[in-house]
Amino acid sequence: MSMPTSDEEWRRRLSPERYAILRQAGTETPFSGAYTDTEDDGIYRCGGCGAEVFDSSTKYHSGCGWPSFTDAVSPDAVTLQEDNALGMNRTEVRCAKCDSHLGHVFEDGPAEAGGQRWCINSASLDLEER
């Protein structure tokens, strides 16, 4: 499957919810996502292009309402950008392959796992079970 090259192609390929999150940096309602509480073993892929972005071995229950991870599957899988929208200073997480919005990373994660909480929208992911 080829990568969409226009906004129109993205709209055709993605559901309205996925389009709003992946292409417009939206956020799903807390505790509503399919992967918030799942403990299934596998690789989480970008819902826009299928690139590997997170591994279930780094997923944990943070209680924030979105799937939380301690790190990305690799440093090259994602890009980080400063996000000052909505009057907040956050770090946005985007897919390195297709530039889709995945969520945000915060510095309040488990200390024993590096201290980061990668707070990711379920609708931005597809779980490929092992």
- Assess whether pLDDT exceeds 80 at residue 1: no
- How many structural domains does the chain have? 1
Question: Residue 119 catalytic?
Answer: yes
| Residue tagged active-site, from 46, 49, 95, 119 | 119
| Structural domain contains residue 2 | no
**In the predicted model, is pLDDT for residue 22 greater than 90?**
yes
The verdict on residue 44 lying in a domain is yes
Tokens representing 34 are: 């399919």
Q: What is the pTM of this model?
A: 0.94
Asked whether residue 33 is assigned to any structural domain, the reply reads yes
Residues 6+ apart with CB under 8 A from 30: 64, 65, 66
Report the distance separating Cα 64 and Cα 46, nearest Å.
21
Report the CATH number at residue 15: 2.170.150.20
